[in-house]
Structures are given as C-alpha cells and as structure tokens.
Amino acid sequence: MSETQTPTLMISAKPVVLPAPGRGDDLQVRVSAPATGGDLPVVVFSHGFGWSMDGYAPLTDFWAAEGFVVVQPTHLDSRTLGLRADDPRTPRIWRLRVEDLTRVLDGLDVLEASVPGLGGRIDRGRIAVAGHSWGAQTASTLLGARVLDDGGVPGEDLSDPRVKAGVLLALTGLGDDLTPFAAEHFPFMRPSFDGMKAPALIVAGDHDQSPLSSRGPDWFTDPYHRSPGSKSLLTLFGAEHSLGGVAGHEIAETTDEDPERVALIQRLTTAFLRSALDEDDTAWRTAAASLAEASAPLGKLQSK
C-alpha cells in the first residue's frame, strides 16, 4: 500500500440470523459495509462447497471497502454445520442454496437493522449476486440459469427481478460433459444458460481442469458463450479452480496461489459491479482498457 492510500474503515456483523422455516437450520449471515457513505449497492455472495460466511475475504472485504454492502449466507453444505451425507436435505441442497439467496433479499430490512450504523444507507435498487464454483451456480440461478431434468427440459425459473447483475467465478459448464460419477451424484449440474439474460462477468481459469468434466478448461467458458444478453468473460492465464486464492489468504486448497491474480480479480470485479449497477459509471470501461493495454497481462477480456 502506498503512503497516499488510507485503509477504508468497515463495519461487519455476524452471525445475523434469518428465520428459515422448513430448512432445518435458520440461515446465518454475515453483513459487511463501509463505515460511512449512503446509497450503498448490495452484493449477495454465495460460497463454494464446504465454505461459510467467513470465507472469501480477499473479495468480500475488498468490495465492502470499495462501497458495497456485502451479504454472505452460510449454506447447509458448509463444513461449519457438519451436515451428514445421509441427511434427507442433502439431495435438495442446490435448491436450498438458491432459497438462501432469495431469503437474504427478502430479509434486507432485518439485515440492515442488525448492523450498527447501517440503517438507511442501502440502495435496494442496486443489487448484484456473486459466487465461486458451486456458489457461482447458485448465483447464476437468480440471473436466469435453469436446471435441466433427465429429459433435457428446463426446470423452474428461479430468477429474481431484484438482481440486476452478477459476478460468476469458476462457474461450471454444460451438463452434457459431466463424468459418469458427476452425472450420477450431481444431477443438478445440468444447467441451461438460455435464460440467463442479466448482465454478468464470468471469470474462468485457463488451467482449471475439473475432475467432474470430460472436457478441458474451456468447459468453464460455456456460461459466456451459451447465454444471451450483455456478458463479459475474463480468462485468467495459468489460473486453476482457486483463481489464485479468492477463498482466502494461504488457504490449503488453493493450488495456484497468486496475489497479483487475485488483485486483478478484485479490481475488475469491482469495476464491473459499479458500472453494471450504475449506467453512468465508467469504471468498467476504464478497467477493460487498462487490461487490454497491459504489457504483460494476467488474462484476457472479451465482451458481447
């Protein structure tokens, strides 16, 4: 950090508990925001498998410091909850994850009131969703992605008109390319992106070789190529599924630790969210031009 930069003071509260009848456990949420400022846009973040509201600080803390209210629910698959594999809710966790995000949107008044000093500072007209891996699939559903049944028919439309944009990190591709194991155990991983019309930034690593797919890293670019509307694809050079370490600093499961890569994701996602939620904002245009002009870029960006 240069001498001219002053860290932004943030406020955070956890766990904020939202009643969740029928879920089996009430929903625990973390809310973070800058200590000052008003008309703050909202980002609801869905964590990857096994994580919780305490993960992904490199992104969520950064966004909060940059002027967003960041809401992080803990899904039922979190290791902090210890749900057994034979729990009757397990086959429905993918759907319960989506309901968690909707419940957060329904409970914004409660969440706002639970954080000292946050009251009256949220702009409910500017809401985005974000997520990594399974969390990206969860978030994509609120943007219009749907799950295909065994006959290839799209399931229920679970999109939410309150959500204006999304950031989808390492979002898996089409279900036609699942390995037999994945097809048997994760039938919800058969998405259709035909209805995912909301603006989104999709981030993929060109070294992300999933054990769940028979294809290579290009599998993670399907959401960009197979969805309509305004989309951008950031392909990171040398990045694996952890995308340099977005889940946390020095995390054991990160296979491609790279602070510079994470810093690029921080900058570009923040710029995208600002411009996607404010049509007069030029941050995204500036960030995209900066990447294009870099002498040794860490990735490439394409948009449609």
On whether residue 182 sits in a domain, the answer given is yes
What is the pLDDT, as a whole number, of residue 7? 80
User: Quick one: which of 217, 211, 270 has its CA closest to 240?
Assistant: 217
Is 95 inside any structural domain? yes
Task: Report CA 191 to chain centroid distance, whole Å.
Answer: 16
pLDDT in tens, the chain (304 residues): 334 567 889 999 999 999 999 999 999 999 999 999 999 999 999 999 999 999 999 999 999 999 999 999 999 999 999 999 899 999 999 999 999 999 999 999 999 999 999 999 999 999 999 999 999 999 999 999 999 998 899 999 999 999 999 999 999 999 999 999 999 999 999 999 999 999 999 999 999 999 999 999 999 999 999 999 999 999 999 999 999 999 998 888 899 999 999 999 999 999 999 999 999 999 999 999 999 999 999 999 999 9
Structural domain contains residue 224: yes
Helix (H) or strand (E) holding 99, with range, is helix 93-106
% helix, strand, coil for the chain, step of 5: 30, 25, 50
What is the rounded CA–CA span in Å between residue 261 and residue 243?
A: 7
Instruction: Compute the C-alpha angle 32/34/36, nearest 5°.
Output: 140
**pLDDT for position 5:** 63
Domain hosting residue 215, numbered range:
10-303
Helix (H) or strand (E) holding 268: helix 259-276
Evaluate whether residue 4 is within a structural domain.
no
Q: With respect to residue 249, please indicate whether it lies within any of the assigned structural domains.
A: yes
Q: Look at strands 200-205 and 231-236 and give their pairing.
A: parallel
Domain annotation covers residue 173: yes
CB within 8 Å of 263: residues ≥ 6 apart: none
- Is 5 inside any structural domain? no
Please provide residue 96's backbone torsions phi and psi, each rounded to the nearest 5 degrees.
Answer: -65, -30
Count of domains for the chain: 1
Residue 271 belongs to domain with CATH number? 3.40.50.1820
Identify the H or E element spanning 288. Answer: helix 283-293
